[in-house]
Structure 1
Amino acid sequence: MNTIRDKPLMAIDVGNSQIMAGLFPQNNAELGGNQLPQPNRTLALQSQDWDPMELALWLAPMQPADFDWIVGSVCDRASRALQVWLESEPDKPSNRFLDFKDLTLGIEIPDPAAIGIDRLLGAVAANCVRPPNCPCIVIDLGSAITVDVISSQGSFHGGAILPGIQMSARALHDFTDRLPRVALTGELPPPPVGRSTEEAISSGIYWGTVGALRMLIDEMRTGMSNDPMVIVTGGNASIVAEALDVEVRCEPYLILSGIKVAVDSNRKAQRGI
Protein backbone atom coordinates (compact mmCIF):
# COMPACT_ATOMS: atom_id res chain seq x y z
CA MET A 1 0.00 0.00 0.00
CA ASN A 2 1.30 3.45 -0.85
CA THR A 3 2.22 5.82 1.96
CA ILE A 4 -0.89 6.89 3.86
CA ARG A 5 -0.75 10.23 5.66
CA ASP A 6 -2.16 10.57 9.15
CA LYS A 7 -5.42 12.27 8.27
CA PRO A 8 -8.93 11.20 9.23
CA LEU A 9 -9.87 8.15 7.20
CA MET A 10 -12.70 8.08 4.70
CA ALA A 11 -13.33 4.37 4.12
CA ILE A 12 -15.46 3.52 1.10
CA ASP A 13 -17.03 0.11 0.48
CA VAL A 14 -18.27 0.08 -3.12
CA GLY A 15 -20.69 -2.76 -3.67
CA ASN A 16 -22.82 -3.72 -6.64
CA SER A 17 -25.99 -2.14 -5.27
CA GLN A 18 -24.79 0.12 -2.46
CA ILE A 19 -21.87 2.36 -1.61
CA MET A 20 -21.13 2.70 2.10
CA ALA A 21 -18.90 5.54 3.30
CA GLY A 22 -17.51 5.58 6.82
CA LEU A 23 -15.60 8.38 8.52
CA PHE A 24 -12.99 7.32 11.08
CA PRO A 25 -11.27 9.89 13.32
CA GLN A 26 -7.59 10.72 13.02
CA ASN A 27 -6.76 9.59 16.54
CA ASN A 28 -7.44 5.95 17.36
CA ALA A 29 -9.41 5.26 20.50
CA GLU A 30 -8.27 2.35 22.62
CA LEU A 31 -10.39 -0.70 21.87
CA GLY A 32 -11.08 -3.77 23.91
CA GLY A 33 -9.57 -7.09 22.88
CA ASN A 34 -12.58 -8.21 20.84
CA GLN A 35 -13.83 -4.91 19.44
CA LEU A 36 -13.55 -3.51 15.94
CA PRO A 37 -13.02 0.15 15.10
CA GLN A 38 -16.34 1.74 14.21
CA PRO A 39 -16.98 4.73 11.95
CA ASN A 40 -18.15 7.95 13.57
CA ARG A 41 -20.44 8.72 10.66
CA THR A 42 -21.74 6.68 7.76
CA LEU A 43 -23.52 7.38 4.51
CA ALA A 44 -25.24 4.85 2.25
CA LEU A 45 -25.68 5.59 -1.45
CA GLN A 46 -27.02 3.60 -4.37
CA SER A 47 -24.25 2.38 -6.70
CA GLN A 48 -26.39 2.78 -9.81
CA ASP A 49 -25.85 6.23 -11.40
CA TRP A 50 -24.62 7.76 -8.16
CA ASP A 51 -23.30 11.31 -7.95
CA PRO A 52 -20.02 11.77 -6.02
CA MET A 53 -21.16 15.28 -5.11
CA GLU A 54 -23.47 13.62 -2.60
CA LEU A 55 -20.32 12.75 -0.67
CA ALA A 56 -19.07 16.33 -0.89
CA LEU A 57 -22.35 17.69 0.47
CA TRP A 58 -22.28 15.14 3.29
CA LEU A 59 -18.74 16.20 4.27
CA ALA A 60 -19.32 19.95 4.12
CA PRO A 61 -17.88 22.23 5.40
CA MET A 62 -14.83 19.92 5.34
CA GLN A 63 -13.15 19.33 1.99
CA PRO A 64 -12.30 15.98 0.32
CA ALA A 65 -8.58 16.75 0.70
CA ASP A 66 -9.00 16.76 4.49
CA PHE A 67 -9.19 12.95 4.42
CA ASP A 68 -7.28 9.89 3.30
CA TRP A 69 -9.66 8.07 0.93
CA ILE A 70 -9.25 4.29 1.02
CA VAL A 71 -11.59 2.32 -1.20
CA GLY A 72 -12.53 -1.33 -1.45
CA SER A 73 -14.59 -1.88 -4.59
CA VAL A 74 -16.28 -4.74 -6.41
CA CYS A 75 -18.17 -2.44 -8.82
CA ASP A 76 -15.90 -1.00 -11.51
CA ARG A 77 -18.42 1.51 -12.86
CA ALA A 78 -19.09 3.11 -9.50
CA SER A 79 -15.45 3.13 -8.42
CA ARG A 80 -14.39 4.77 -11.70
CA ALA A 81 -16.83 7.61 -11.03
CA LEU A 82 -15.34 8.02 -7.56
CA GLN A 83 -11.77 7.98 -8.86
CA VAL A 84 -12.50 10.55 -11.57
CA TRP A 85 -14.10 12.83 -8.99
CA LEU A 86 -11.20 12.55 -6.55
CA GLU A 87 -8.65 13.23 -9.28
CA SER A 88 -10.63 16.28 -10.44
CA GLU A 89 -10.55 17.91 -7.00
CA PRO A 90 -8.19 20.92 -6.91
CA ASP A 91 -6.20 19.68 -3.90
CA LYS A 92 -6.00 16.06 -5.14
CA PRO A 93 -7.12 14.11 -2.04
CA SER A 94 -4.82 11.20 -1.20
CA ASN A 95 -6.56 8.00 -2.23
CA ARG A 96 -5.93 4.30 -2.65
CA PHE A 97 -8.09 1.63 -4.28
CA LEU A 98 -7.19 -1.56 -2.45
CA ASP A 99 -6.22 -4.93 -3.85
CA PHE A 100 -5.19 -8.14 -2.12
CA LYS A 101 -1.51 -7.14 -2.03
CA ASP A 102 -2.38 -4.29 0.34
CA LEU A 103 -3.62 -6.64 3.05
CA THR A 104 -1.77 -8.48 5.79
CA LEU A 105 -3.67 -11.70 5.24
CA GLY A 106 -2.80 -15.24 4.28
CA ILE A 107 -4.83 -16.17 1.19
CA GLU A 108 -4.89 -19.92 0.58
CA ILE A 109 -6.46 -20.00 -2.87
CA PRO A 110 -4.90 -20.30 -6.35
CA ASP A 111 -5.84 -16.84 -7.70
CA PRO A 112 -6.11 -14.19 -4.96
CA ALA A 113 -6.63 -11.40 -7.51
CA ALA A 114 -9.94 -12.97 -8.54
CA ILE A 115 -11.43 -12.73 -5.06
CA GLY A 116 -13.62 -9.72 -4.27
CA ILE A 117 -11.76 -7.30 -2.03
CA ASP A 118 -14.84 -7.07 0.21
CA ARG A 119 -14.49 -10.75 1.10
CA LEU A 120 -10.82 -10.29 1.98
CA LEU A 121 -11.51 -7.16 4.03
CA GLY A 122 -14.14 -9.10 5.95
CA ALA A 123 -11.48 -11.68 6.76
CA VAL A 124 -9.05 -8.96 7.88
CA ALA A 125 -11.66 -7.61 10.27
CA ALA A 126 -12.65 -11.08 11.48
CA ASN A 127 -9.05 -11.82 12.43
CA CYS A 128 -9.19 -8.95 14.92
CA VAL A 129 -12.08 -10.42 16.91
CA ARG A 130 -11.96 -14.21 16.57
CA PRO A 131 -10.48 -16.03 19.59
CA PRO A 132 -6.98 -17.52 19.24
CA ASN A 133 -6.89 -20.82 17.34
CA CYS A 134 -10.57 -20.44 16.46
CA PRO A 135 -11.73 -20.64 12.83
CA CYS A 136 -14.34 -18.22 11.59
CA ILE A 137 -17.18 -18.14 9.08
CA VAL A 138 -18.04 -14.71 7.69
CA ILE A 139 -21.46 -14.25 6.07
CA ASP A 140 -22.02 -11.07 4.06
CA LEU A 141 -25.64 -10.57 3.02
CA GLY A 142 -25.46 -8.10 0.17
CA SER A 143 -26.54 -8.15 -3.48
CA ALA A 144 -24.93 -11.57 -3.48
CA ILE A 145 -24.39 -13.56 -0.29
CA THR A 146 -20.87 -14.72 0.46
CA VAL A 147 -20.00 -17.32 3.08
CA ASP A 148 -16.27 -17.44 3.69
CA VAL A 149 -13.94 -19.51 5.86
CA ILE A 150 -11.02 -18.11 7.85
CA SER A 151 -8.79 -20.79 9.32
CA SER A 152 -7.73 -21.02 12.96
CA GLN A 153 -4.39 -19.55 11.79
CA GLY A 154 -6.15 -16.57 10.22
CA SER A 155 -5.87 -17.45 6.52
CA PHE A 156 -8.63 -16.92 3.98
CA HIS A 157 -9.63 -20.30 2.52
CA GLY A 158 -12.45 -19.36 0.15
CA GLY A 159 -16.14 -20.06 0.54
CA ALA A 160 -19.48 -19.99 -1.24
CA ILE A 161 -21.47 -17.39 -3.19
CA LEU A 162 -25.23 -17.45 -3.67
CA PRO A 163 -27.93 -14.98 -4.77
CA GLY A 164 -28.88 -12.31 -2.27
CA ILE A 165 -32.42 -11.80 -1.00
CA GLN A 166 -33.28 -8.89 -3.29
CA MET A 167 -31.52 -10.52 -6.25
CA SER A 168 -33.66 -13.62 -5.79
CA ALA A 169 -36.84 -11.55 -5.59
CA ARG A 170 -35.90 -9.64 -8.73
CA ALA A 171 -35.05 -12.83 -10.64
CA LEU A 172 -38.44 -14.39 -9.87
CA HIS A 173 -40.15 -11.28 -11.21
CA ASP A 174 -37.91 -10.70 -14.23
CA PHE A 175 -37.88 -14.28 -15.50
CA THR A 176 -41.60 -15.00 -15.20
CA ASP A 177 -44.71 -13.42 -16.68
CA ARG A 178 -46.90 -13.12 -13.60
CA LEU A 179 -44.89 -13.33 -10.42
CA PRO A 180 -44.79 -9.92 -8.70
CA ARG A 181 -41.71 -8.17 -7.38
CA VAL A 182 -41.61 -8.68 -3.60
CA ALA A 183 -39.43 -6.45 -1.42
CA LEU A 184 -39.46 -8.58 1.75
CA THR A 185 -40.03 -5.53 3.93
CA GLY A 186 -43.07 -6.89 5.77
CA GLU A 187 -43.23 -9.07 8.86
CA LEU A 188 -40.14 -11.22 9.18
CA PRO A 189 -39.60 -14.03 9.45
CA PRO A 190 -42.52 -14.75 7.13
CA PRO A 191 -44.75 -17.76 7.78
CA PRO A 192 -43.38 -20.81 5.94
CA VAL A 193 -46.77 -21.46 4.31
CA GLY A 194 -47.70 -18.41 2.26
CA ARG A 195 -51.43 -17.80 1.72
CA SER A 196 -50.91 -15.54 -1.28
CA THR A 197 -48.42 -15.41 -4.12
CA GLU A 198 -46.55 -12.58 -2.40
CA GLU A 199 -46.40 -14.48 0.89
CA ALA A 200 -45.25 -17.63 -0.89
CA ILE A 201 -42.41 -15.74 -2.59
CA SER A 202 -41.39 -14.15 0.71
CA SER A 203 -41.39 -17.54 2.39
CA GLY A 204 -39.42 -19.24 -0.36
CA ILE A 205 -36.75 -16.57 -0.55
CA TYR A 206 -36.36 -16.02 3.19
CA TRP A 207 -36.46 -19.62 4.38
CA GLY A 208 -34.56 -20.82 1.32
CA THR A 209 -31.77 -18.37 2.17
CA VAL A 210 -31.80 -19.36 5.84
CA GLY A 211 -31.76 -23.05 4.94
CA ALA A 212 -28.87 -22.63 2.53
CA LEU A 213 -26.85 -20.74 5.14
CA ARG A 214 -27.59 -23.31 7.85
CA MET A 215 -26.45 -26.11 5.56
CA LEU A 216 -23.30 -24.27 4.49
CA ILE A 217 -22.36 -23.57 8.11
CA ASP A 218 -22.88 -27.24 8.99
CA GLU A 219 -20.88 -28.48 6.00
CA MET A 220 -18.04 -26.01 6.50
CA ARG A 221 -17.65 -26.75 10.19
CA THR A 222 -17.20 -30.50 9.55
CA GLY A 223 -13.69 -29.81 8.28
CA MET A 224 -12.74 -27.67 11.27
CA SER A 225 -11.00 -28.82 14.43
CA ASN A 226 -12.92 -26.31 16.59
CA ASP A 227 -16.36 -24.78 16.38
CA PRO A 228 -16.10 -21.60 14.31
CA MET A 229 -17.04 -18.10 15.27
CA VAL A 230 -19.81 -16.92 12.92
CA ILE A 231 -19.90 -13.24 11.92
CA VAL A 232 -22.78 -11.79 9.91
CA THR A 233 -22.73 -8.46 8.08
CA GLY A 234 -24.49 -6.75 5.19
CA GLY A 235 -27.78 -5.01 4.58
CA ASN A 236 -29.95 -8.03 5.36
CA ALA A 237 -27.93 -9.30 8.33
CA SER A 238 -30.44 -8.43 11.03
CA ILE A 239 -33.35 -10.28 9.39
CA VAL A 240 -31.41 -13.50 8.82
CA ALA A 241 -28.98 -13.83 11.74
CA GLU A 242 -31.59 -14.72 14.34
CA ALA A 243 -32.82 -17.68 12.28
CA LEU A 244 -29.46 -19.40 11.75
CA ASP A 245 -29.65 -21.61 14.87
CA VAL A 246 -26.05 -20.83 15.84
CA GLU A 247 -24.51 -18.11 17.95
CA VAL A 248 -23.62 -15.23 15.65
CA ARG A 249 -21.91 -11.88 15.97
CA CYS A 250 -23.49 -9.09 13.91
CA GLU A 251 -21.07 -6.45 12.62
CA PRO A 252 -22.97 -4.03 10.36
CA TYR A 253 -19.80 -2.18 9.29
CA LEU A 254 -17.46 -5.17 9.01
CA ILE A 255 -15.98 -4.17 5.63
CA LEU A 256 -15.44 -0.55 6.66
CA SER A 257 -13.77 -1.82 9.84
CA GLY A 258 -11.57 -4.07 7.70
CA ILE A 259 -10.44 -1.04 5.69
CA LYS A 260 -9.60 0.79 8.91
CA VAL A 261 -7.63 -2.19 10.25
CA ALA A 262 -5.69 -2.47 6.96
CA VAL A 263 -4.81 1.23 7.03
CA ASP A 264 -3.71 1.11 10.67
CA SER A 265 -1.50 -1.89 9.90
CA ASN A 266 0.08 0.01 7.02
CA ARG A 267 0.72 3.08 9.15
CA LYS A 268 2.38 1.01 11.86
CA ALA A 269 4.59 -0.69 9.27
CA GLN A 270 5.68 2.69 7.93
CA ARG A 271 6.74 3.73 11.43
CA GLY A 272 8.47 0.41 12.12
CA ILE A 273 6.10 -0.43 14.95
Structure 2
Amino acid sequence: MSLLLAVDVGNTNIVLGIYDLDRGEDAPLVHSWRLATSRERTVDEYGLSSLALLRHNAIEADQVKHVVISSVVPPLHPVLDAWARVYFKAEPLWIEPGIRTGLKVLLDNPAELGADRIVNAVAGLELYGTPLIAVDFGTATTFDVVNERREYLGGIICPGLKISAEALFQRASRLPRVEIAEPERLVGKSTVQAMQSGLFYGYVGQVDGILARLLAEYPGARVVATGGLAKVIAASSQHIGVVAPDLTLDGLRILWLKNRKAGK
Protein backbone atom coordinates (compact mmCIF):
# COMPACT_ATOMS: atom_id res chain seq x y z
CA MET A 1 0.00 0.00 0.00
CA SER A 2 1.28 3.46 -0.98
CA LEU A 3 -0.18 6.31 1.06
CA LEU A 4 0.18 10.10 0.89
CA LEU A 5 0.07 12.01 4.16
CA ALA A 6 -1.22 15.56 3.64
CA VAL A 7 -0.60 18.02 6.49
CA ASP A 8 -2.28 21.42 6.83
CA VAL A 9 -0.71 23.44 9.67
CA GLY A 10 -2.94 26.26 10.89
CA ASN A 11 -2.64 28.58 13.86
CA THR A 12 -5.27 26.63 15.80
CA ASN A 13 -5.20 23.08 14.41
CA ILE A 14 -2.99 20.76 12.39
CA VAL A 15 -5.12 18.65 10.04
CA LEU A 16 -3.73 15.34 8.82
CA GLY A 17 -5.19 13.48 5.86
CA ILE A 18 -4.38 10.09 4.32
CA TYR A 19 -4.81 9.43 0.59
CA ASP A 20 -4.55 5.95 -0.96
CA LEU A 21 -2.33 6.43 -4.02
CA ASP A 22 -2.94 2.86 -5.17
CA ARG A 23 -6.41 4.02 -6.24
CA GLY A 24 -5.13 6.39 -8.95
CA GLU A 25 -4.63 10.11 -9.45
CA ASP A 26 -8.05 10.89 -7.99
CA ALA A 27 -7.12 9.05 -4.82
CA PRO A 28 -9.81 9.44 -2.17
CA LEU A 29 -9.30 10.82 1.32
CA VAL A 30 -9.26 7.71 3.51
CA HIS A 31 -8.94 9.24 6.99
CA SER A 32 -8.39 12.66 8.53
CA TRP A 33 -7.61 13.89 12.03
CA ARG A 34 -7.02 17.14 13.90
CA LEU A 35 -4.27 17.95 16.39
CA ALA A 36 -4.02 21.15 18.41
CA THR A 37 -1.24 23.35 17.04
CA SER A 38 1.49 23.76 19.63
CA ARG A 39 4.80 25.50 19.04
CA GLU A 40 6.20 23.79 22.14
CA ARG A 41 5.76 20.19 21.00
CA THR A 42 8.86 18.29 20.01
CA VAL A 43 9.48 16.11 16.97
CA ASP A 44 8.85 13.01 19.10
CA GLU A 45 5.63 14.35 20.58
CA TYR A 46 4.23 15.01 17.11
CA GLY A 47 5.59 11.65 15.98
CA LEU A 48 3.99 9.60 18.72
CA SER A 49 0.65 11.44 18.39
CA SER A 50 0.49 10.88 14.64
CA LEU A 51 1.52 7.23 14.86
CA ALA A 52 -1.20 6.60 17.45
CA LEU A 53 -3.82 8.11 15.14
CA LEU A 54 -2.61 6.04 12.19
CA ARG A 55 -2.49 2.79 14.13
CA HIS A 56 -5.95 3.40 15.53
CA ASN A 57 -7.08 3.09 11.89
CA ALA A 58 -4.83 0.08 11.13
CA ILE A 59 -2.22 2.12 9.23
CA GLU A 60 1.50 1.59 9.81
CA ALA A 61 4.14 4.28 9.33
CA ASP A 62 5.92 2.36 6.56
CA GLN A 63 2.77 2.49 4.42
CA VAL A 64 3.15 6.28 4.20
CA LYS A 65 5.46 6.80 1.23
CA HIS A 66 5.03 10.56 0.68
CA VAL A 67 4.33 13.66 2.80
CA VAL A 68 3.13 17.09 1.64
CA ILE A 69 2.86 20.02 4.06
CA SER A 70 1.41 23.53 3.99
CA SER A 71 1.98 25.74 7.01
CA VAL A 72 1.25 29.25 8.25
CA VAL A 73 3.27 28.68 11.45
CA PRO A 74 6.97 29.18 10.50
CA PRO A 75 8.39 28.15 13.93
CA LEU A 76 7.01 24.64 13.31
CA HIS A 77 8.70 24.17 9.93
CA PRO A 78 11.94 22.57 11.22
CA VAL A 79 10.01 20.43 13.72
CA LEU A 80 7.62 19.03 11.11
CA ASP A 81 10.33 18.62 8.50
CA ALA A 82 12.27 16.44 10.93
CA TRP A 83 9.05 14.64 11.96
CA ALA A 84 8.37 13.59 8.35
CA ARG A 85 11.93 12.39 7.82
CA VAL A 86 12.31 10.54 11.15
CA TYR A 87 8.89 8.92 11.49
CA PHE A 88 7.95 8.34 7.83
CA LYS A 89 11.37 8.25 6.14
CA ALA A 90 10.01 10.78 3.63
CA GLU A 91 11.35 14.07 2.33
CA PRO A 92 8.28 16.31 2.59
CA LEU A 93 7.09 18.55 -0.22
CA TRP A 94 6.54 21.99 1.29
CA ILE A 95 4.00 24.35 -0.29
CA GLU A 96 6.19 27.40 -0.79
CA PRO A 97 7.29 29.81 -3.53
CA GLY A 98 8.76 28.00 -6.50
CA ILE A 99 6.53 24.93 -6.54
CA ARG A 100 4.34 24.12 -9.53
CA THR A 101 0.74 25.32 -8.97
CA GLY A 102 -0.81 25.97 -12.39
CA LEU A 103 -1.78 29.45 -11.15
CA LYS A 104 -0.40 32.84 -12.08
CA VAL A 105 -0.26 34.83 -8.84
CA LEU A 106 -0.98 38.51 -9.49
CA LEU A 107 0.14 39.95 -6.16
CA ASP A 108 2.57 42.79 -5.57
CA ASN A 109 4.72 40.31 -3.63
CA PRO A 110 3.71 36.71 -4.47
CA ALA A 111 6.08 35.36 -1.79
CA GLU A 112 3.84 36.72 0.97
CA LEU A 113 0.83 34.63 -0.07
CA GLY A 114 -0.04 32.13 2.67
CA ALA A 115 0.40 28.47 1.75
CA ASP A 116 -3.14 27.60 2.84
CA ARG A 117 -4.61 30.22 0.53
CA ILE A 118 -2.76 29.00 -2.55
CA VAL A 119 -3.74 25.41 -1.70
CA ASN A 120 -7.43 26.35 -1.43
CA ALA A 121 -7.29 28.27 -4.71
CA VAL A 122 -5.69 25.34 -6.56
CA ALA A 123 -8.18 22.84 -5.13
CA GLY A 124 -11.14 25.08 -5.88
CA LEU A 125 -10.25 25.67 -9.51
CA GLU A 126 -9.35 22.03 -10.16
CA LEU A 127 -12.51 20.66 -8.52
CA TYR A 128 -15.10 23.38 -9.21
CA GLY A 129 -13.75 25.45 -12.09
CA THR A 130 -13.33 29.18 -12.59
CA PRO A 131 -14.08 31.94 -11.86
CA LEU A 132 -13.80 31.04 -8.21
CA ILE A 133 -14.15 32.60 -4.76
CA ALA A 134 -12.76 30.32 -2.05
CA VAL A 135 -13.75 31.14 1.54
CA ASP A 136 -11.86 29.52 4.43
CA PHE A 137 -13.33 29.79 7.93
CA GLY A 138 -10.23 29.26 10.04
CA THR A 139 -8.50 31.28 12.74
CA ALA A 140 -8.88 34.08 10.20
CA THR A 141 -11.56 34.05 7.52
CA THR A 142 -10.05 34.43 4.06
CA PHE A 143 -11.61 35.12 0.66
CA ASP A 144 -9.49 34.25 -2.40
CA VAL A 145 -10.36 35.07 -6.00
CA VAL A 146 -9.30 33.20 -9.15
CA ASN A 147 -10.46 34.36 -12.59
CA GLU A 148 -11.29 32.34 -15.69
CA ARG A 149 -7.69 32.65 -16.89
CA ARG A 150 -6.52 30.76 -13.78
CA GLU A 151 -4.99 33.93 -12.36
CA TYR A 152 -4.96 34.37 -8.60
CA LEU A 153 -6.10 37.98 -8.23
CA GLY A 154 -5.80 38.41 -4.45
CA GLY A 155 -8.20 38.28 -1.57
CA ILE A 156 -9.60 39.55 1.70
CA ILE A 157 -8.61 38.59 5.27
CA CYS A 158 -10.93 39.10 8.26
CA PRO A 159 -10.75 38.08 11.93
CA GLY A 160 -12.28 34.65 12.39
CA LEU A 161 -15.55 34.17 14.23
CA LYS A 162 -13.85 32.53 17.21
CA ILE A 163 -11.43 35.47 17.49
CA SER A 164 -14.38 37.87 17.54
CA ALA A 165 -16.16 35.85 20.22
CA GLU A 166 -13.03 35.64 22.36
CA ALA A 167 -12.40 39.39 22.04
CA LEU A 168 -15.95 40.10 23.22
CA PHE A 169 -15.46 37.86 26.26
CA GLN A 170 -12.06 39.33 27.16
CA ARG A 171 -12.96 43.00 26.74
CA ALA A 172 -16.42 43.02 28.36
CA SER A 173 -16.14 41.89 31.97
CA ARG A 174 -19.79 40.88 32.42
CA LEU A 175 -20.12 38.87 29.22
CA PRO A 176 -19.44 35.10 29.31
CA ARG A 177 -17.90 32.81 26.75
CA VAL A 178 -20.61 31.37 24.53
CA GLU A 179 -20.92 28.49 22.08
CA ILE A 180 -20.77 29.58 18.46
CA ALA A 181 -23.94 28.25 16.90
CA GLU A 182 -27.02 29.44 15.04
CA PRO A 183 -29.37 30.77 17.74
CA GLU A 184 -32.96 29.59 18.14
CA ARG A 185 -34.29 33.13 17.64
CA LEU A 186 -33.02 36.43 16.29
CA VAL A 187 -33.87 38.47 19.39
CA GLY A 188 -32.19 36.88 22.40
CA LYS A 189 -34.12 36.44 25.65
CA SER A 190 -30.92 36.20 27.72
CA THR A 191 -27.40 37.59 27.62
CA VAL A 192 -26.06 34.34 26.17
CA GLN A 193 -28.76 34.22 23.47
CA ALA A 194 -28.20 37.87 22.61
CA MET A 195 -24.45 37.28 22.25
CA GLN A 196 -24.99 34.18 20.11
CA SER A 197 -27.37 36.08 17.85
CA GLY A 198 -25.02 39.04 17.49
CA LEU A 199 -21.98 36.89 16.79
CA PHE A 200 -23.70 34.54 14.38
CA TYR A 201 -25.86 36.92 12.36
CA GLY A 202 -23.25 39.65 12.51
CA TYR A 203 -20.76 37.26 10.97
CA VAL A 204 -23.17 35.92 8.35
CA GLY A 205 -23.92 39.55 7.43
CA GLN A 206 -20.23 40.30 7.10
CA VAL A 207 -19.56 37.25 4.96
CA ASP A 208 -22.55 37.85 2.68
CA GLY A 209 -21.74 41.56 2.45
CA ILE A 210 -18.22 40.82 1.25
CA LEU A 211 -19.41 38.09 -1.12
CA ALA A 212 -22.06 40.38 -2.61
CA ARG A 213 -19.37 42.95 -3.44
CA LEU A 214 -17.05 40.28 -4.85
CA LEU A 215 -19.80 38.75 -6.99
CA ALA A 216 -20.66 42.21 -8.35
CA GLU A 217 -17.04 42.48 -9.57
CA TYR A 218 -16.76 38.83 -10.65
CA PRO A 219 -20.25 37.75 -11.76
CA GLY A 220 -20.76 34.05 -12.16
CA ALA A 221 -17.98 33.07 -9.76
CA ARG A 222 -18.49 29.82 -7.87
CA VAL A 223 -18.34 30.38 -4.10
CA VAL A 224 -16.75 27.42 -2.29
CA ALA A 225 -16.41 27.38 1.50
CA THR A 226 -14.18 25.30 3.74
CA GLY A 227 -12.91 25.35 7.32
CA GLY A 228 -14.33 24.39 10.68
CA LEU A 229 -17.34 26.73 10.66
CA ALA A 230 -18.10 26.58 6.93
CA LYS A 231 -21.14 24.33 7.26
CA VAL A 232 -22.62 26.41 10.09
CA ILE A 233 -22.27 29.72 8.26
CA ALA A 234 -23.17 28.39 4.81
CA ALA A 235 -26.59 27.23 5.99
CA SER A 236 -27.60 30.88 6.52
CA SER A 237 -25.58 32.46 3.71
CA GLN A 238 -27.20 33.73 0.54
CA HIS A 239 -24.08 33.35 -1.57
CA ILE A 240 -22.10 30.25 -0.53
CA GLY A 241 -22.82 27.59 -3.14
CA VAL A 242 -20.61 24.68 -2.09
CA VAL A 243 -19.25 23.50 1.26
CA ALA A 244 -16.07 21.45 0.83
CA PRO A 245 -14.77 20.38 4.26
CA ASP A 246 -11.67 18.71 2.79
CA LEU A 247 -10.78 21.42 0.26
CA THR A 248 -7.34 22.17 1.74
CA LEU A 249 -6.35 18.51 2.05
CA ASP A 250 -7.54 17.87 -1.51
CA GLY A 251 -5.47 20.83 -2.66
CA LEU A 252 -2.39 19.34 -1.03
CA ARG A 253 -2.98 16.07 -2.89
CA ILE A 254 -3.40 17.94 -6.18
CA LEU A 255 -0.24 19.99 -5.64
CA TRP A 256 1.78 16.92 -4.65
CA LEU A 257 0.69 15.23 -7.88
CA LYS A 258 1.51 18.29 -10.02
CA ASN A 259 4.99 18.54 -8.56
CA ARG A 260 5.65 14.79 -8.73
CA LYS A 261 4.92 14.94 -12.46
CA ALA A 262 7.26 17.93 -12.70
CA GLY A 263 10.02 15.91 -11.05
CA LYS A 264 10.05 17.76 -7.71
TM over 0.5: yes
Structure 2 distance, partners of 1:79, 1:173, is 32
Tell me which protein shows more strand as a share of its residues.
2
Amino acid at match of 2:30: N
**Count of paired positions:** 255
Call closer, same or farther: CA 1:174–1:240 in 2, change over 3 Å.
same
Alignment of 1:139 onto 2:135: yes
Amino acid at match of 2:190: S
TM-score normalised over the length of structure 2: 0.88
Q: Could you tell me which runs of 5 or more consecutive residues in structure 1 were left unpaired when the two chains were aligned.
A: 1-5, 32-36
**What's the offset of the Cα at 1:143?**
1.0
The aligned counterpart of 2:113 is 115
Structure 1 Cα separation of the partners of residues 77 and 52 of structure 2: 18
1:222 deviates by 1.7
Q: CA RMSD, aligned part only?
A: 2.2
Q: Distance in 2 between matches of 1:118 and 1:207?
A: 26
Instruction: Give, in whole Å, the separation in 1 of the partners of 2:112 and 2:9.
Output: 16
Deviation at 1:71, TM superposition (A): 0.4
Instruction: Name the CA shift for 1:92/1:65 in 2 (closer, same or farther; >3 Å).
Output: farther
1:199 to 187, 193, 201: 193
The equivalent of 1:105 in structure 2 is: 103
Which whole-Å CA distance do the structure 2 matches of 1:20 and 1:45 have between them?
A: 6
Normalized per residue, the structure richer in helix is 2
Give the aligned residue type for 1:183: E
Q: Quick check: 1:143–1:163 contact (8 Å CA) kept in 2?
A: yes
Change (3 A) 1:100 1:244: farther
Alignment of 1:187-266 (within 5 A): 188-224=182-218, 226-246=219-239, 248-266=241-259
The ranges of structure 1 where at least 4 consecutive aligned residues each deviate by more than 4 angstroms after the TM superposition are none
Contact 1:19/1:45 (CA < 8 Å) preserved in 2?
Answer: yes
Distance (whole Å) between structure 2 residues aligned to residue 202 and residue 145 of structure 1: 18
Higher relative contact order (CA 8 A, sep 6+): 1
- Which residue in 2 is equivalent to 1:173? 169
* 1:28–1:264 Cα change, 3 Å: farther
Match of 1:26 in 2: 21
The 1:104–1:64 alpha-carbon spacing in structure 2 relative to 1, beyond 3 Å, is farther
| CA shift for structure 1 position 82 | 2.0
Q: CA deviation at 1:76?
A: 2.4
